[in-house]
Amino acid sequence: MTRTGRPAPLPRSDLLESDLPRSDLLRFDEVEPQDDCICGGCSARRRARLHAAPVHEGGHAAARSVRRRAAVLMAAAGTALGGGAVGAATAAPAPAPTPGGPAVPRADTPQGEVGGLYGETAADERAAAAQPVTRASIIERAQRWVDQKVPYSMSRYWSDGYRQDCSGFVSMAWGLGSSQTTWTLPDFAERITKAELQPGDVLIHNDPASPRSGSHVTVFGGWADSARTRYVAYEQTSPGATKRATPYAYWSNSATYVPYRYKALTTGGSSSDSAAAAAFPGADKFGPGADNAFVTRLGEMLVRRGGGRFYTEGPGPRWSESDRRATEAFQLAQGWRGGEADGIPGKDTWDYLVNGKGRDIDGVAPLPPPPPSPPSPPLPPDGADGRETAFPGPGAFGPGAAGEQVELLGGQLVRKGFGAAYAEGPGPRWTDADRSNVRAFQEAMGWSGAEADGYPGPDTWKRLFS
């Protein structure tokens, strides 16, 4: 208390959270109860924080903020009523953390707030939460938030009832029926090692020094490379739900992230979503020109089976040469040859990948080479030996096209010096590499726009074979 009878100003270390600029708050904040809300849930949270332990004993930083607000109000009331001594005693700052003090107890760290769906108070969220779930369902739920672009918020709840922050995201993906925190999620899981990680597991970072603002959790979606230095992470972070290739274990605080696996994980069952996930979607969902979620899932399964080295970035919905090569490598690893190892998944390939059958792709030994394509003979001048080089029509080229005209086109592109996109010799099946090389030739002719779309027309054919 000062000589004027006013409460002494709080030291800098005791500034209220509301006094801090937004830039000082990390983006992984957990839910904060509204000060002016009269609902039972927010009232219960405010009471819990008011009586929580101080931070140096494992308490929540937000709880200290509530106690400080109460202290300031009591000091002000004491001054107005002439009770200066009461105000001074109430406004005394909490003791500072002691360096080298006791470790923060796990059970005494109320980081964030546990609550039912839509923020309602739940009687026993943990007892009702351990519902069986498959890995496919976890990834499907996580992808749903990514597709819906659910915005990040520490106080809002999405249409499915889960809080829109990182721990609410994992609670949703695991189907817990309540929004947990990064500190309580381990209660539903068992600790595993990096080598044991599989899609649907999580990586949790808890920061005792800043339990509310410094902690984070991601859903592991599979390895993005064969060296296991990057993985596909599903996470809820500002500005919203995202899926991205991420360095292991995270962009920051990598050494303190711990892998966990949900205790109620099941590998099978008769649920409709499990059956649908295992069914082969059809050959038309794969190959040149395909662009759908099944291509993404194929790539992720191939990465888990050792095919990560074929991808320069995480698998995506658009079919690429990386998908074909990884599929071919998996088929060859099973001992299949010829048409059974053409790089396009069929029912058997899909069954082996979905159900974990067969051999993984060998990441060290070189893959068995595919059957070599016969070398293209030198092309004689038009009419020299009666060989027809007239333009065969636009239908002979493009996604799904296959035939000797495609191979003839590729051979001529190579002879003209436009074969850079081929990883191996051109063949009879149209690929993205054919299109890239055709486009390069068209652009070399000075064409652009629709005239350089990568598909040969009469003019491209005539210039190429002239």
One-character DSSP codes across 133-160: B-HHHHHHHHHHHHHHTPBP-SS-B-TT
pLDDT of residue 19 exceeding 60: no
Asked whether the beta carbons of 40 and 118 are under 8 A apart, the reply is no
Instruction: Indicate the length of the chain as a whole number.
Output: 466
3-state secondary structure of 433: helix
pLDDT of residue 36: 62
- As a whole number of angstroms, the distance between CA 346 and CA 287 comes to 11
pLDDT of residue 375: 55
Q: Which has more confidence, 133 or 28?
A: 133
pLDDT of residue 329 exceeding 90: yes
pLDDT of residue 464: 87
Least confident of 19-28, 170-179, 285-294, 330-339: 19-28
pLDDT of residue 14: 42
Residues 6+ apart with CB under 8 A from 220: 197, 198, 199, 200, 201, 202, 203, 231, 232, 233, 259
Residues 6+ apart with CB under 8 A from 203: 217, 218, 220, 233, 249, 250, 257, 258, 259, 260
Q: Which has more confidence, 323 or 36?
A: 323
pLDDT of residue 400 exceeding 80: yes
pTM over 0.85? The answer is: no
- As a whole number of angstroms, the distance between CA 315 and CA 294 comes to 11
Q: How many CB atoms lie within 10 A of CB 438?
A: 25
- Per-residue pLDDT of 149-206, as tens digits, reads 999 998 899 988 899 999 999 999 999 989 999 999 999 999 999 999 999 999 999 9
Asked whether the beta carbons of 409 and 434 are under 8 A apart, the reply is yes
Orientation angle between helical segments 347-354 and 293-302, nearest 10 degrees: 60
Q: How many CB atoms lie within 10 A of CB 32?
A: 19
The mean pLDDT of 130-142, rounded to a whole number, is 88
- Per-residue pLDDT of 62-96, as tens digits, reads 444 444 444 434 434 443 444 443 333 333 343 33
List strand residue ranges (DSSP E) for 291-403, in order: none
Asked whether the beta carbons of 399 and 390 are under 8 A apart, the reply is no
Q: Quote the distance between the C-alpha of residue 46 and its chain's center.
A: 34
Instruction: Look over the chain and give the mean of its residue pLDDT values, rounded to a whole number.
Output: 75
- As a whole number of angstroms, the distance between CA 399 and CA 231 comes to 31
Q: Which has more confidence, 394 or 39?
A: 394
- As a whole number of angstroms, the distance between CA 119 and CA 347 comes to 45
pLDDT of residue 269 exceeding 90: no
Least confident of 167-181, 204-218, 275-289: 275-289
- As a whole number of angstroms, the distance between CA 80 and CA 355 comes to 73
pLDDT of residue 233 exceeding 60: yes
Least confident of 38-42, 116-120, 177-181, 189-193: 38-42
pLDDT of residue 115 exceeding 70: yes
The mean pLDDT of 283-303, rounded to a whole number, is 90
The mean pLDDT of 213-235, rounded to a whole number, is 91
pLDDT of residue 284 exceeding 70: yes
- As a whole number of angstroms, the distance between CA 202 and CA 258 comes to 8
- Per-residue pLDDT of 411-459, as tens digits, reads 888 888 888 888 877 889 999 899 999 999 988 888 888 888 899 998 8
